[in-house]
Structure 1
């Protein structure tokens, strides 16, 4: 059998059918993509809520995961809240123990200091000096124990500006003949540290700089450059705290000696020689960095690299 007809008509029908088929398949593909995307976005919305809740905890705006979560991730939220509660109880217990130890040691050391005043020199001066050194060392190790207990807490955060302004006011009152300019950028920077530790570190540096400064002790706080941020954690940022005086400064060998625990380069100045060592220990406990160098003006430049609170969580 042979069938004879117009081939162009047949090819036109095939072309129309192919075009309709391609359009239908394209529409089906685009619709499937949109439907899957919508399903994924809706399905992951609870995880996004959990991320925002964790962001609030990281920023110090909340103390636990709040909100309604589906049963698939509800166990995760419950475990995170339980971990935070456990962490808080450990911190509180450590603080209580440290407080009890400090209270039990404070009275005997105070008695030793008082009795040393009744002993004739030079024995009395020796006892007084050693008791003061013991008091500073005890306080230093108590601080280290407290910091070690709360170092992993996600709730340690302090706004830097009010604390530093208070320290500067005290230094201006104690050293009326010197200037203490303060520059904080940005003004609302938050440090991932306890307020007491900020006061301990920066206060020691200011006090040390005021002893040797001629006229000015500068305090500067600014965000660390991008190449320094997140050296061990992509989500962690850092703040640089600089204390610079216009005194005679120190040579590299003298800086190495000054960083040794209990070492005093100038015996004519009051102190136990533990200040810089305490600053270094506190900075290390927070995984920060402390260093000394000669400043641009020739004086001593003390630099602290401390952890900051990051609000932008990826």
Structure 2
């Protein structure tokens, strides 16, 4: 997947989050850099003003023996005590064309380059100093004897750099705290702003699950048109489903009447081979007719779906299966907590009838049904103690018409129908080996749990 495709698939929250992160990062970086540059400029101006004042003070305190061109001196030390401290980083120097210079104690024997003071005007430059780069202020004065007096005042640039570094450290700590506060506030604002989208998703899921009929009208103005259109679509589809159900009911009524006559006639002839076959086929047609009607109701997907309760829904199924397989003595049992399933009872009965019937055909003696709730899903396990199913045949059995053994009664439609109904109810159905390692097969049916699902224990055993 390319980068553009990945960006295109990002959710709204992710897009807003990335945009906010970029905005905050770039904004605070710009603030930090500009504030640091502004602070440096201000501090440099302060340093330059102080050095110029010290230079003027040095000129005023200098004592020059003009007639004798004797040693240089100061009337008193400069007012800033840092000039008198050894290696303090603040220096001054007075020199003339001939003779030794007069230097501040802070120079500790080092010398400033008197060529940096080369004019009567005050000049300042950055030049090497005794302890590294320095800011140097200088000027010259012409003595009466004709020689030139050089006045120099300097300070190490490390003092400026240390101030700027301290400011930057404090500034960026403060900006980091500000970034955290801004991002936290943005996250809260984003959560508040996108809450209607969460509600929209939950409402759509509730409509699909059948716990909500319509989207309603309590939406922000940006979402309200979408909710209104969805409700109109639901109304239209519900009207279509209602009309289809009426037509299916009318067709079923007409077929049932004729089928009932055929079934009665076939039952009267059931003592003959042809009559028995006809009677069995009539019952199969009746069952298929009932299934298609139940599937139509389950797959409609509009309006509240009737919930199925366990273990109540299993009691008649287990009883029927026990009677169906009583000649082989198969025992059907079930155990699990009381739960609700979001599926039409008819669809659930059709699914479990197929699973239980298949398990009963292959079981050696026992068929066990267990279920448990995990979050929003209820998982049912239908396990038999038969010979099991080869791994390569587990998925093929869901293809309509595929049968594992042609000698066993059946039409190869039951599992396909069961999976179709399970998926129509937003569930899943799959086959596998028993989990305890013993021979046999387990059918795993997962269905959405109803809101009234409760934990507890219950047991049900089929009656003979």
TM tier relative to shorter chain: 0.5 to 0.7
Alpha-carbon distance in structure 2 between the residues aligned to 1:96 and 1:138: 15
Taking the TM superposition and a 5 Å limit, the aligned residue runs for 1:126-165 are: 126-143=277-294, 145-147=296-298, 149-150=299-300, 155=305, 158-165=308-315
Unaligned runs of 5+ in 2: 1-120, 123-136, 138-151, 452-464
Gaps of 5+ in 1: 225-235, 268-272
Partner of 1:231: none
1:104 pairs with one of 241, 254, 267? 254
Task: Map 1:203-282 onto structure 2 (within 5 A).
Answer: 203-207=353-357, 209-210=359-360, 215-222=365-372, 239-244=379-384, 246=385, 249=387, 260=401, 265=407, 273-274=410-411, 277-282=413-418
CA contact (8 A) 1:283 1:289 kept: yes
CA separation of 1:254/1:79 partners in 2, compared to 1, >3 Å: closer, same or farther?
A: closer
- Cα distance, 1:96 vs structure 2: 2.9
Q: Indicate which of 70, 74, 77 corresponds to 2:220.
A: 70
Please list the CA deviations of residues 80-139 of structure 1 after superposition, one character each: whole Å capped at 9, or x if unmatched.
333333443344333333222221111101111222345583543444344334334444
Cα pair distance change 1:180/1:55, threshold 3 Å: same
Per the normalisation by structure 1, the TM-score is 0.65
Name the structure 2 match of 1:198.
348
User: Using the alignment, how far apart are the partners of 2:178 and 2:273 within structure 1?
Assistant: 97
Partner residue in 1 for 2:333? 181
Partner of 1:47: 197
On the 8 A contact 1:151/1:286 being kept in 2, the answer is no
CA distance in 1, matches of 2:263, 2:420: 31
The 3 A distance-change label for structure 1 pair 66 and 6 is farther
User: In the alignment, which residue of structure 2 is the partner of 1:303?
Assistant: 443
More strand by share: 2
Q: CA distance change for structure 1 residues 137 and 203 in 2, over 3 Å: closer, same or farther?
A: closer
Q: 1:167 maps to what in 2?
A: 317
Give yes or no for the alignment of 1:79 onto 2:229. Answer: yes
Q: Deviations over 1:271-294 (max 9, x none)?
A: xx34x6234223135444454878
Larger radius of gyration: 2
Aligned residues between the structures: 288
Task: Provide closer, same or farther for how the CA distance between residues 108 and 144 of structure 1 changes in structure 2, counting only shifts above 3 A.
Answer: same
Tell me what 1:270 maps to.
Answer: none
Give 1:26-37 correspondences, 5 Å limit: 29-30=179-180, 32-37=182-187
Q: 1:136-178 CA deviation, whole Å, 9 max, x = no partner?
A: 444444455555x426889575444432245335556886976
Secondary structure of the structure 1 residue equivalent to 2:222: coil
Deviation digits for residues 12-50 of structure 1 (CA, Å, limit 9, x no counterpart): 776676677657755664554344334323322322333
Decide whether the 8 Å contact of 2:313 with 2:349 is kept in 1.
yes
TM-align CA RMSD: 4.8
Aligned to 2:40: none
Query: For residues 290 and 23 of structure 1, what CA distance do their matches in structure 2 show?
Result: 58
Residues 203-241 of structure 1: per-residue CA shift (max 9 Å, x gap): 2443455567565321133579xxxxxxxxxxx968353
Give the structure 2 partner of residue 116 of structure 1: 266
CA distance in 2: counterparts of 1:199 and 1:123, whole angstroms: 31
2:416 alignment partner, SS class: helix
Cα separation, 1, equivalents of 2:306 and 2:232: 18
**Further displaced range: 9-18 or 214-223:** 9-18
